[in-house]
Structure 1
């Protein structure tokens, strides 16, 4: 066994991710990969030590602070501010977008996280699985902020939560990800101090220089902007200063905003939405995040209402293209204009736009798809959006691919972020899709499999149709990325549902017959066997960091928590 891997403070080998296969040698050139932190300015261990040794030839400051300890803290502190993170992560996203343009198999993914701890554990899991965070982001869902992170209780996704909660969560996530870096780098420096040969030291130093940060891009949901274009700009700045390199904004009316998977959605005219896209761009530019990414989301597929009729200045302009979809009634002797009604001139004659009792105007039936395509083209060509988001009511690759094909006639490199939403009944949707296709192909008879909800039953899990649906689920993201231009696949609310399921699972056993076995079997034993570092919960939240700092300033006088009596010593790495 490699001798360095016996030196971990975990009570076993250091994680493999600490030793990248191509780590730069000590004293190597600056690493240009933003995932390393401080993309163009991060210095190697040797460079930092040489600089500090020149200032302090004795190896310590006048107050007795060790040069080696200063080097460690500088490397642990990978960013000065969260705005630096936004700048770096924007570069990461731009590089990933270019890689996707060259090869659609290089799509990116994220899970929605409603706490810093969720995000931290997700990124740690990815690093254990892949050895890298490349292609992995965090999605920050406005739905989960409303439902779980606001001071006013559990609220629906209707922009009723305090807007500052979104910026607070971004800051919390990056604090947690940066702490994961600190803990991991502290482990490496403990291994460095324990090294007994120059070869061992060189290997650990290479691991320090090649360490890949847990910091990844966040796609932050700014809802519909929480107000007018100026309010959108002010909030966008706060999200960016908290670390967001990417803002996702939707074309709904701020004061009538609904969850994308609910009824009653009201869209704004395209000029209004473009103004909010510009507000986001101005926020990025003002703060020096030149590569900031904007995701323009359209809810028009399921939105049948608008709040106002824009003013058209010329035939075929954005307003005219929006107005043409309004549901209207002809003016006639049988249907004359009444006091207070409106009329618009369309196709050479006046007509009355239908207006509901609440003053909203409905669109014509079955026009959502056409409006989506026009929304997307306008957002890309006139609003400077970088990515699109089309909110759909079912997961259907063909449906999305068909719309993207139309958009790409105008904007050939159009790319999407797609919501693999928990609001879809994925099992039922995919089984229904397979059933319909196989019926059309004559492969099965209608009586072979039931239509509708009955197809959801566990009885069909191991059937040919059930297995085919699962196979399509497994390749869904690959298919939609290759065929429908989806650069980023996300699940908005997974940690909401996972937390509910996991707590239910533990509670059923613990408060039922299994008692303590339920915790050990469903939680701790699995943590140990999977190598989940959180099993050593004291270490996970920085106990060893605290001990290291005490040693830095107190030396042998340090009162440390990590001695032989620490019960975390029971958890040797498996």
Structure 2
């Protein structure tokens, strides 16, 4: 291994050289040797089992060229160690067809309670929760539209990860001093965090990925929604981006982490199962799902809208009525649906034959190619199809979202991600199994993610108590290894505090003692003694080291004035 490479006065061990007298030819030679060695190390790294199923459209040299002269070893990110831990967990659970299931937490208190459970082995941080409760630098709370500063969730990751490290140090001290034999609690459970839609173009995605790796996230998920058109996956009006845009986000994230030398995991989420709008028709892989009209010569909705908005007395209610009437009158179809309505069944079947033959040579068919195949199948027919006429005011295309779209997109994303997330409208086990079987036909190794969302009214979907209890484990049998109740912490927080508020107003301290303190003691909650929970004894131990025994009685936090001795 080359430890020192001198180039124009710079030593490639992170320090400046004492002399710049080395010849240019020697510098070039040393540079080439250094680059060759770094390329070899990266290729060895990529050759490990961790990356056996990951594709990269760039080379190891591309990574080396963008790392700079500082050795990558000088930054050993803790999140990469956490990612290795997460990867091992996922591999083990996936092989055994068991779930790695967890609950979304919103603060260090909930994180520490999660840590005490042996069955819950990872933590999750939601962008929805950050947007609605934890705010960012603007101190604005809002629903989940992804319009908060892009460092909001990374900063919450940092908050939780630093709390994890603090409580881990506290527990480690207790173990070393023989004060506990707790082998269940693990404060360093890997954090999986919500990166939304990346909050910008590729360079922003890379900056966001860098923040997450620096601040402690073992994994992040990225969804295929549009920046500025982002919605919670269970709201209407979400705008899907072209498949190529989402692929660029995944690749940008991987490149950033390769430059940093970290092993963090990427979860590729698709919201196309519920999507009805597409931001652009630029990617031919999406063309089969874009909808258009089949009536010749109609006035596009955007033209009609512009005309209405130019009239001074037209109200927003009138425009809404006109819009509903336009879409009711002008029905929309995908190209295949439109073609089937305009040709004979024999001609349509001929078109499908030609299309399937085409798909054996290339995995997608563009609109131009579909029109050419239709002309071959029915040369005497002029096919009417206009996907521009029904476009929205913002220019979005109408999109035929659903399982087929979600499956195709997930197959595109799988080689560039570590896991695939299907966002759904309902908790449908049959739908999930169908999705899993289609994905695993092509990529049997792919691990899947399922959002056990509190947006679902679980009691309204016909599940028995036995079905509900087994839902997570039934999903895991089909490869949905990672499962999460994204906003569990939010709901528990609201419910439990509301129950206390109602009772406290009428019953005062009786309510607090009965609903909090007695239950904390009964459940062996470590927050009962909140000073100890916060690490007071850990800091007290540090003070004793600094004082070298002096003033150990007077400065100790655990003296006669320590009220938690009452417990």
2:173 aligned with 1:186, yes or no?
A: yes
TM-score normalised by L of structure 1: 0.69
Q: Displacement, 1:286?
A: 1.5
1:244 aligns with 217
1:264 aligns with 237
> 2:438 pairs with 406, 417, 429, which one?
406
> 1:480 pairs with 475, 479, 486, which one?
475
User: Could you tell me how far apart the structure 1 residues matched to 2:300 and 2:502 are?
Assistant: 64
2:114 aligns with 122
SS of the residue 2:267 aligns to: strand
Q: Displacement, 1:499?
A: 0.8
Greater displacement, 540-549 / 299-308: 540-549
2:396 aligns with 360
SS of the residue 1:254 aligns to: coil
Structure 2, gaps ≥5 residues long: 1-72, 305-334, 336-366, 373-382
Q: Is the 8 A contact 2:132 2:144 kept in 1?
A: yes
Q: Displacement, 1:305?
A: 0.5
1:52-111 Cα offsets, whole Å, 9 max, x none, are xxxxxxxxxxxxxxxxxxxxxxxxxxxx99963211111112212221332102x21221
1:438 aligns with none
Cα 1:543–1:100, aligned 2, differ >3 Å: closer, same or farther? closer
> 1:85 pairs with 78, 84, 100, which one?
78
Cα 1:374–1:525, aligned 2, differ >3 Å: closer, same or farther? same
Q: Is the 8 A contact 1:83 1:243 kept in 2?
A: no
1:151-186 Cα offsets, whole Å, 9 max, x none, are 433201111112112111111111111111122223
1:394 aligns with 426
Q: Displacement, 1:543?
A: 1.2
- Correspondence 1:202-217 to 2 at 5 A: 213-217=186-190
SS of the residue 2:187 aligns to: coil
Cα 1:424–1:560, aligned 2, differ >3 Å: closer, same or farther? same
Q: Is the 8 A contact 1:82 1:171 kept in 2?
A: no
Q: Displacement, 1:339?
A: 11
1:447 aligns with none
Cα 1:82–1:518, aligned 2, differ >3 Å: closer, same or farther? farther
User: Could you tell me how far apart the structure 1 residues matched to 2:529 and 2:301 are?
Assistant: 74
User: Could you tell me how far apart the structure 1 residues matched to 2:134 and 2:426 are?
Assistant: 28
1:146 aligns with 131
Q: Is the 8 A contact 1:147 1:156 kept in 2?
A: yes
2:339 aligns with none
- Correspondence 1:212-361 to 2 at 5 A: 213-289=186-262, 291-310=263-282, 319-330=283-294, 332=296, 335=298, 345=368, 346-348=370-372, 351-353=385-387, 354-361=390-397
1:508 aligns with 502
1:455-493 Cα offsets, whole Å, 9 max, x none, are xxxxxxxxxxxxxx11111111001111x3101110110
Q: Is the 8 A contact 1:300 1:371 kept in 2?
A: yes
TM-score normalised by L of structure 2: 0.69
What root-mean-square deviation, in Å, do the aligned CA atoms of Structure 1 and Structure 2 show? 2.5
User: Could you tell me how far apart the structure 1 residues matched to 2:77 and 2:392 are?
Assistant: 48
SS of the residue 1:295 aligns to: strand
> 2:413 pairs with 373, 376, 379, which one?
379
SS of the residue 2:290 aligns to: coil
Q: Displacement, 1:233?
A: 0.7
- Correspondence 1:69-80 to 2 at 5 A: none
SS of the residue 1:220 aligns to: strand
Q: Displacement, 1:309?
A: 0.7
Cα 1:174–1:101, aligned 2, differ >3 Å: closer, same or farther? same
User: Could you tell me how far apart the structure 2 residues matched to 1:283 and 1:85 are?
Assistant: 16
Q: Displacement, 1:549?
A: 1.5
Q: Is the 8 A contact 1:117 1:173 kept in 2?
A: no
2:157 aligned with 1:170, yes or no?
A: yes
1:352-393 Cα offsets, whole Å, 9 max, x none, are 1031233111024xx411100001000013xx1111111111
Number of positions where the alignment pairs a residue of Structure 1 with one of Structure 2: 416
1:113 aligns with 105
Structure 1, gaps ≥5 residues long: 1-79, 193-203, 311-318, 432-468
